[in-house]
A and B are shown apart, each in its own frame.
With several copies, the nearest count.
Chain A
Amino acid sequence: MSQFQQKVELIQSEVIAAGIVRLTLSAPDIAAAAVPGQFVMVQTAPGLDPLLRRPFSIHQVSSDGFLQILFKVVGRGTERLAQCRAGEHLSLLGPLGNGFALGESAHACLVGGGMGIAPMLFLASHFLRQSQVAVPPRVILGARNSEELVPLMGDFLDLGFEVLAATDDGSFGYHGLVTDVLKTLNLTSQSTVYSCGPRPMMAAIHHLCQNQHVPCQVSVETVMACGMGACLGCAVPLRAGGYAHACSDGPVFDAGELLWSL
């Protein structure tokens, strides 16, 4: 496994929607090694506060060495990152974790909710590049409202995907949950659902898939200190008892392996 600790240049910082920022970084080594579903740990400030790195899914990579992350400003670390300007350098650790298991499944369905949309773009691009896939994957994206969702959909549309949209307030697309949209699709055990989003959303998707015997992979979020399996801070309760570690065993898991009742 190739992993790197590098200071990389920030090429562009874009405010995609209110409080949602996309950073484009020149990180050829990490970009080349990354697979969809992996993440990077980013140092958000030069000093000792905030102290720990912050984990972000790899949103997209390009063949010319660029790597993007897409995040929402929720606290001190993301605030600092949002203030970084082109030309500054950021310390990155990555690519980290195990990405999505990309099988031969003919019918892939990508479901992203809120910031869980971030890793879905990299995954969608990956399917595009895989010429053997006959049916292009279906993409379901959900968010609170159109202001948040529409800007995030753009890249998927640009890649030629048809996006099934859902918003909590009905201001765009389906008025309701992504699971309701997912239900309308003709899922079979030949399909695979790839999902990332808030825990309640992923729990609902898991139950739906379980009932219909559809394989389902989820990318989970936990607090993380190291991102590399050293601190054991990122415990994820397992159905079989005990814990897995989101950073080194995940962040992508077979939904059936996890304990969802928690």
Chain B
Amino acid sequence: MEPVNVKMDELDLRVSIGNLELKNPVMTASGTFGYAREFESYVQLHRLGAVVVKGISLEPRAGNPPPRIFETACGMLNAIGLENVGVDRFISEKMPYLSALGVPVIVNILGDSVEEYRQLAERLAEAPGVAAIEVNISCPNVKKGGVAFGTDPQMAAAVTEAVKQSCQLPVIVKLSPNVTDVTLVAKAVEEAGADAVSLINTLIGMAIDLKSRRPRLANVIGGLSGPAIKPVALRMVYQVAQAVSIPIIGIGGIASAEDAMEFMLAGACAVQVGTASFVNPRACEHVLDGMVTYVREQKLESVRDLIGALRIG
């Protein structure tokens, strides 16, 4: 099955995330596309709007014991435990391949403390080929008893400020959906200097094996992703779009161009495809192809016409 070959030269699919220009709004979601090379047999990688890589920490992390994943209704739980090669090996082993792709590389970072985020940003600012940083604030702040940075506007702002101060790169802050009011966190990180926000990260969930009477994940709880969470993600993108003026990247259950464009109508200027890439490694291209068809059929001047174009009332 050859990928659909859509002529897209004449179409304007460009979007910008602050200073960062993307040739189209379709990117991969962190942790669901490895370091891109895993997909080279399936995907024309140069067609992607951007590649967002698996979350990177200062030191390598082994991750959680298995089982780490479990399928749920129209979704999946994961508790990978932030397994990654660490920033040094990432820069030396993964970046050369990534920066040769001709696609903006966005590095997702995670840490246990504000200091770790700061150091990560410093290291990545020196690395050639990094186009932007995406700050995963859904991690526990060990200095604050393990409360996730992303659930507290002040902690979220502190991380954002630290990252902004230590690099010139565009900084995208990735919001957690496990909060009472996502707009408070969004506004806090906007004020702290974030160039954009991306949302949503996974909802916290759990599953139990009746037979063994044990949790399905060794870590007991995990992150819920996939089509199941799309309605929650879309609602939060819409709410955040009313609250901030920085660009928004929509994430959560996107598997088709229709899904992606719904997020754009709600106010996102770009999207990330996550869990769908597991089911269909070509999911990003599938989304892109569908978007091209839509933009052409609807005779839109540019895909940007969709952003925030939801009609209410």
**Interface residue ranges of B1-23 to A (CB < 8 Å):** 1
Q: Are B78 and A51 in contact (CB under 8 A)?
A: no
Name the one of A7, A53, A222, A226 contacting B66, with C-beta atoms under 8 angstroms: A222
With a CB–CB cut-off of 8 A, which chain B residues contact A204? Answer: none
Q: Which of B64, B281, B282 has the most CB of A within 10 A?
A: B281
Q: A172: CB under 8 A from chain B?
A: no
Q: Which chain A residue has the least Cβ–Cβ distance from B218?
A: A235
Q: Pull 24 A–B residue pairs with CB atoms less than 8 Å apart, ordered by A.
A: A48-B73, A48-B255, A49-B74, A51-B75, A52-B71, A52-B76, A223-B70, A225-B275, A226-B32, A230-B32, A230-B34, A232-B31, A232-B63, A232-B83, A235-B68, A235-B83, A236-B66, A237-B66, A242-B62, A243-B62, A243-B63, A243-B65, A243-B83, A248-B38
A residues touching B (Cβ–Cβ < 8 Å)?
Answer: 1-7, 43, 48-53, 91, 93, 222-226, 228-237, 241-243, 248, 262
Q: Are A228 and B66 in contact (CB under 8 A)?
A: no
The docked-state distance in angstroms from the alpha carbon of A50 to that of B73 is: 7
With a CB–CB cut-off of 8 A, which chain A residues contact B25? Answer: none
Q: Which chain B residue has the least Cβ–Cβ distance from A224?
A: B69
Q: Chain A interface mostly helix, strand, loop or mixed? A: loop
The docked-state distance in angstroms from the alpha carbon of A49 to that of B282 is: 19
The docked-state distance in angstroms from the alpha carbon of A3 to that of B65 is: 29
The docked-state distance in angstroms from the alpha carbon of A234 to that of B38 is: 15
CB distance from B168 to the nearest CB of A (A): 30
The docked-state distance in angstroms from the alpha carbon of A95 to that of B81 is: 28
The docked-state distance in angstroms from the alpha carbon of A3 to that of B39 is: 10
CB distance from B219 to the nearest CB of A (A): 11
> Lowest 10 A-B CB distances belong to which pairs?
A233-B69, A3-B41, A230-B34, A226-B278, A242-B62, A235-B66, A229-B38, A225-B278, A230-B38, A48-B74
CB distance from B119 to the nearest CB of A (A): 23
Name the one of A53, A229, A241 contacting B279, with C-beta atoms under 8 angstroms: A53
Other than the given A3-B41, A233-B68, 11 more pairs (CB < 8 A) read A48-B74, A49-B73, A51-B75, A51-B227, A51-B275, A52-B279, A225-B71, A230-B33, A232-B63, A235-B64, A236-B66
Q: B277: CB under 8 A from chain A?
A: yes
Q: B42: CB under 8 A from chain A?
A: yes
With a CB–CB cut-off of 8 A, which chain A residues contact B73? Answer: 48-49
Q: B67: CB under 8 A from chain A?
A: yes
Q: A3-B41, A4-B41 are in contact. Are A50 and B71 (CB under 8 A)?
A: yes
The docked-state distance in angstroms from the alpha carbon of A2 to that of B42 is: 10
Q: B80: CB under 8 A from chain A?
A: yes
With a CB–CB cut-off of 8 A, which chain A residues contact B34? Answer: 228-230
Q: Are A7 and B74 in contact (CB under 8 A)?
A: no
Q: B226: CB under 8 A from chain A?
A: yes
CB distance from B211 to the nearest CB of A (A): 12
With a CB–CB cut-off of 8 A, which chain A residues contact B65? Answer: 235, 237, 243, 262
With a CB–CB cut-off of 8 A, which chain B residues contact A242? Answer: 62
With a CB–CB cut-off of 8 A, which chain B residues contact A51? Answer: 71, 74-76, 226-227, 275, 279
